[in-house]
Amino acid sequence: MTIIPDSPSQLRLTPMSRLAAGGRWRVEAMRSLREPVLLWFTQGQGRITVAGTTRGYGPNNAIFIPPGVMHGFDFAPRTQGTVVFFGRNHGLELPGSPQYLRPRDPISQKELTGILEAIQRELESARSGSQKAAQHHLGLLGVWMDRQLEREKAFDPLPQRPGASQRLVARYASLLERDFRSNRAVADYAEALGVTPTHLTRVCKTTCGKGAHQLLEDRILFEARRLLSETRLPIKDVAEMLGFNSAGYFTRAFQKTAGMTPSAFRKKPLAPVVPRA
């Protein structure tokens, strides 16, 4: 059995513009990470989908996404901000569900900016103890999120609870994340959720603007792009890992969505290669 290599997982900060420079698919396609991530938007606006529900984002919005939660967001040319990848061994007590934070006062906004600048400064430093210092600043980021959640709870003590449609799509997104490599069809997921494929598709379109099949296809092809750009695995192995019956079928499905064959996509200058596991 071939083990699918992971993307790097250590504390790091990346400008959103640089993250998207490797292809808009890196931010817009549905994906999940095995580490927590915080998106801090400082400029621009658009739509973000988290766990199957789409909502707007704008300047001074911070969105925390736990590990294993599917997400993707529109990326416009004027979108600016910072993505904080916590790493899998961050050692912090963090929220177990996605959080939309909207620091309204300039002081909270400056605090967050200052913490991120301090983390980046230590990560770029060659001084002894810089990694330890960066982790301590990351702990302050966790404190900032806790305080912001308390403020938002005080501002809105009765937040709106997810409706039945949102809960269903969140369950679908969770199942999809677990099984998207298994070659299961939308009908299989719908049966597991106790609904019809038609109902599941309709609810998905209502909550996030994408049908159930599109979400499934999006997730599979994001992983395909990641493996093609970050590893040297043979294309037939990538196809097998993602549940395709043959490399030819995988090539046709990939080309239909990406506009090029897997081989052509791999030749494009993208991210550094991760050694084969």
75: pLDDT strictly greater than 60: yes
The token pair that represents 193 in the structure block: 């959720």
Residue 243 exposed, middle or buried by CB count within 10 Å (0-12, 13-18, 19+): middle
Nearest to 212 by CA among 233, 188, 236: 188
pTM flag (> 0.75): yes
Nearest to 84 by CA among 173, 12, 186: 12
Nearest to 212 by CA among 232, 187, 242: 187
277: pLDDT strictly greater than 50: no
Cα-only R_g, the chain? 19
44: pLDDT strictly greater than 60: yes
Check if the beta carbon of residue 52 is closer than 8 Å to that of residue 173. Answer: yes
What gap in Å lies between CA 177 and CA 180, rounded to an integer? 6
* pLDDT band (50, 70, 90) for residue 4: low
Q: How many CA atoms lie within 13 A of 226 on its CB side?
A: 21
How many Cβ atoms sit within 10 Å of the Cβ of residue 276? 12
| pLDDT, tens only, 190-213 | 999 999 999 999 999 999 999 999
Mean pLDDT score, 253-258:
91
The token pair that represents 47 in the structure block: 């739509």
Strand 46-50: give its sheet, edge to edge: 53-57, 46-50, 71-73
Residue 39 is given by DSSP the state: E
271: pLDDT strictly greater than 70: no
* pLDDT band (50, 70, 90) for residue 22: confident
| pLDDT, position 272 | 42
What gap in Å lies between CA 169 and CA 193, rounded to an integer? 10
| pLDDT, tens only, 211-248 | 999 999 999 999 999 999 989 999 999 999 999 999 99
Kindly give the pairing relationship between strand 80-85 and strand 37-43: antiparallel
Domains and CATH numbers, the chain: 12-155 (2.60.120.280), 164-267 (1.10.10.60)
Check if the beta carbon of residue 65 is closer than 8 Å to that of residue 71. Answer: yes
Min mean pLDDT across 47-61, 62-76, 263-277 is at: 263-277
* Nearest-10 Cα torsion for 24, 201, 207, 224: -20
> DSSP letters along 72-110, please?
EE---TT-EEEEEE--TT------SS-EEE---SHHHHH
How many Cβ atoms sit within 10 Å of the Cβ of residue 268? 11
Beta-carbon contacts of residue 26 (< 8 Å; ≥ 6 apart): 19, 20
Outline where the chain has alpha helix (H): 16-21, 25-28, 106-123, 130-155, 164-179, 186-193, 197-208, 212-230, 235-241, 247-258, 262-267
